[in-house]
Structure 1
Amino acid sequence: MTHATLAHSADDPLVIGALHLPDLSVNRDLTLSQLEDFALTNAGAFIAGGMRRIMLQDQTRQSGPAVPETIALTAAIGRSLKRAFPQMSLGIIVQAHDAEAPLAIARASGADFVRLKVFVGAAMTFEGARDPLAVRAVTYRHHLRAGDIAIMADVFDRTSRPLIDVEPADAAVAAQKYGADALVLTGSSFADSVARVAAARQAGVTRPILIGGSVDQGNIVQALAAADGAIVSTSLMSRQGGLSARWDRDLIARLMDTLRERAPA
């Protein structure tokens, strides 16, 4: 059964815009007010462009679990977003390798889902080795009595390499078994992502699958023909830096219009 948060249709496609906060480890002078303005401005662009699902992504690089400042700031910003855009479905992801922090932030801010980058199977990333978060995350969600918060789990994406000898499709089945409500599959290219989705389905995955990278206006229809949904960000940016409107409303609107116009009746 699909988690209620992940329900979608031709008129309400499962497309999530990733809104990245500045890396606070190198931007410590930014105030909460500045960060809220940044998030509200860019979330407004996503909403105006016709995308109602947004994932707030803290990008503060930390070697261990999320620090209290990250949790407090992200929760405060998430709460501001939910108040400003009550129709929005909000997700949370943190750069730190942490099973509990995203769920705590989601619970405090009223967010609807979290994304965990290493859910099953240990992996080596550019930042070091990462252990699987599945057991801790599902246990903590139960502790919070927050079963309404969906867990999206990445399975060996292109930024990591598995430290165990297992095929990505088998790892996807394991992620489903260990409690993921949806899977995020991201290969080395768009074609590889599509192939991973097909392999996971053939292996027995029945939960929603999203393609997690390299999706744009040119391939969004193909992406949602292969998978249940997609996460989009870079292709919708107008500028790459600064506290400004980094995501372009018109680019977002064109992507969503392309999807709706070409979707089968």
Structure 2
Amino acid sequence: MASVAVRNLMRQSRPAAIAMVHVRPLPGTPNGSQSVKKITEIALQETDVYANACVDGIIVENMHDLPYLVGHNIGPEITASMATICSTVKSKFPEMPIGVQVLKAGNMRALAVANAAGCDFVRVECFTFAHVSDAGWVNATAGELHRYRKQIGAGNVSIFTDIKKKHSSHSVTADQSIKEAAEAAEFFQSDGVIVTGNKTGQAASVTELQDVCSKVNIPVLIGSGVTTENLESYMQANGLIVGSYFKRGGLWSNEICSAKVAAFMEKLIQLSS
């Protein structure tokens, strides 16, 4: 069962704006140079910017941990660091719905972090159907993930699942449309599906959004490429996950531009009235 925070998030009269907090490279990764304490301080500062702009929720993600390991190869130091960061952020912003994503396809680790930190949802890759990611082959994890959620008592942590995931080749499942992928995710008890473009910052297909919305009875979110300029095209979605656009120059690795966040929220509210 989804938490009250997530149910409210997905039942608004407008799409929920969910911002990305891309934590700095974690200890043990090739580009890691800062302590967990310092990384946490930066994550708190970024969350504060989003909270002041009245963004509806955030996702904490280790996107700076390039190049990524896949799934079970992700070290325990990443899980421990993410749990520390997410727990601190959640304690400072208890009313804000907070999600967790651990790259690459660290789905069980994200669920463990969210459960330990008191967070509300996870964003996971390769829930149904295997695919070739830019970090290698990734197997589907729905059965394993649901059983793990049951085992650790994380039933109130919602699982939002990417379909036809960006930064991936889907030639193996080329005979499956995105509508069929969404139906499969719903059948395997996803709490919501995420539609993206082909890479970070690339706009998702409006047609694909419409197709998916017509096929499933669970929340549908857009996971890349939403801007103030194209926002109106995605108002059918239940949620809009925004990362790159909120950064200076539209580059995910840059600092947050508070003016862009404020303008986005103003436009979103305007379109909803």
Normalising by the residue count of structure 2, what TM-score does the alignment of the two structures yield? Answer: 0.88
Contact 1:3/1:181 (<8 A) preserved: no
Match of 1:15 among 17, 22, 29: 17
1-side partners of 2:58 and 2:38: how far apart? 19
Contact 1:221/1:263 (<8 A) preserved: no
Which residue does 2:195 correspond to in 1?
A: 185
Contact 2:101/2:107 (<8 A) preserved: no
Which residue does 2:183 correspond to in 1?
A: 173
Q: CA deviation at 1:3?
A: 6.7
**Cα distance, 1:2–1:79 mapped onto 2, change above 3 Å:** closer
Contact 1:49/1:250 (<8 A) preserved: no
The amino acid that maps onto 1:142 is: K
Contact 2:127/2:161 (<8 A) preserved: yes
Match of 2:216 among 176, 185, 205: 205
CA offsets 1:115-160 (integer angstroms, 9 cap, x no match): 0011111111111111111111111111122111000000012321
2-side partners of 1:120 and 1:48: how far apart? 36
1-side partners of 2:71 and 2:146: how far apart? 19
Which residue does 2:229 correspond to in 1?
A: 218
Figure out how many residues of one structure are paired with residues of the other and give that number: 258
Which residue does 2:69 correspond to in 1?
A: 62
Task: Name the SS of the counterpart of 1:100 in structure 2.
Answer: helix
Correspondence list, 1:27-176, <5 A: 27-59=31-63, 60=65, 61-65=68-72, 66-162=74-170, 163-164=172-173, 165-176=175-186
Task: Name the SS of the counterpart of 2:145 in structure 1.
Answer: helix
Contact 2:15/2:240 (<8 A) preserved: no
Unaligned residue ranges in structure 1 (runs of 5+): none
Contact 1:48/1:249 (<8 A) preserved: no
**Cα distance, 1:100–1:171 mapped onto 2, change above 3 Å:** same
Q: CA deviation at 1:233?
A: 1.0
The amino acid that maps onto 1:9 is: Q
Which residue does 2:208 correspond to in 1?
A: 196
Contact 1:53/1:90 (<8 A) preserved: yes
Q: CA deviation at 1:262?
A: 2.0
2-side partners of 1:238 and 1:87: how far apart? 27
1-side partners of 2:136 and 2:210: how far apart? 29
Contact 1:50/1:256 (<8 A) preserved: yes
Q: CA deviation at 1:94?
A: 0.6
